[in-house]
Amino acid sequence: MLCRFESDHRHQFVISLIYCITFAIIILIIIKSNFMLVLYFPILVFLVAGFGLGMALIVTGHVINRPRPNAQKNSPYECGFPPFEDARKPFDVRFYLVAILFIIFDLETAFLFPWAVVFKHLPFVGIISMALFLSLLIVGFAYEWLKGALEWE
């Protein structure tokens, strides 16, 4: 008798297999009808090879180690302990606020790397635009600091 978890994985596998086969057939039909799309054939080969490798690894894992669910494996746990309370209680908004602020500043600092690589070759306009970008970044940081978004009370 299959447990629900194993049944869901097989269902997802079959659906993804059908999608990939359908995609491959559509791509082959398009390639046959248009010569210029033959150049995209290596991409199709890589997609099929990647999907095939992924499915081979999943099937090999299921063949080597058959899932043997029991009550202890299927029970929810919290760091090795039984759950204390309902896991769906709302989090404090500050957690989300700090996460969003981190993502924003992390992405903005990621824009600095390409600029730093070509810094010596930039014209004056490139330096001015980055100075404007950094000043906006500093103004945003000062604003959230003054509003108290970074403080834990």
Model confidence pLDDT, tens digit, residues 25-40: 777 777 676 666 667 7
Query: Are 40 and 70 part of one and the same domain?
Result: yes
Write down the pLDDT at residue 149.
78
> Is 119 within the bounds of a domain?
yes
Query: Are 46 and 97 part of one and the same domain?
Result: no
31 with 37: CB under 8 angstroms? Answer: yes
**Alpha helix stretches (DSSP H) within the chain:** 4-33, 41-64, 71-74, 93-110, 112-117, 124-146
48 with 24: CB under 8 angstroms? Answer: yes
27 with 40: CB under 8 angstroms? Answer: yes
> Is 82 within the bounds of a domain?
no
pLDDT class for 21, splitting at 50, 70, 90? confident
> Is 86 within the bounds of a domain?
no
- For residue 64, the enclosing domain spans 4-74
> Is 151 within the bounds of a domain?
no
Write down the pLDDT at residue 81.
67
Query: Are 100 and 63 part of one and the same domain?
Result: no
Pick from 142, 3, 124, 137: which is nearest to 67 by CA? 3
23 with 16: CB under 8 angstroms? Answer: no
Write down the pLDDT at residue 31.
67
Sign of the CA dihedral with 35 first, then 36, 37, and 41 last: positive
Write down the pLDDT at residue 103.
84
Half-sphere exposure of 2 (CA within 13 A, CB side): 8
Question: What is the rounded distance in angstroms from the CA atom of residue 142 to the CA atom of residue 128?
Answer: 21
Above pLDDT 70, what percent of the chain? Answer: 79
Domain tally, the chain: 2
Structure-token pair, residue 109: 């600092």
Q: What is the mean pLDDT of residues 33-50?
A: 77
Which range scores top for mean pLDDT: 18-22, 36-40, 57-61, 81-85? 57-61
pLDDT class for 1, splitting at 50, 70, 90? very low
Q: What is the mean pLDDT of residues 95-106?
A: 81
> What global pTM score does this model have?
0.40
| Terminal Cα-to-Cα distance of the chain (whole angstroms) | 53
Write down the pLDDT at residue 5.
44
DSSP state for residue 116 in the 8-state scheme? H
> Is 121 within the bounds of a domain?
yes
> Is 80 within the bounds of a domain?
no
Structure-token pair, residue 31: 């390639």
> Is 130 within the bounds of a domain?
yes
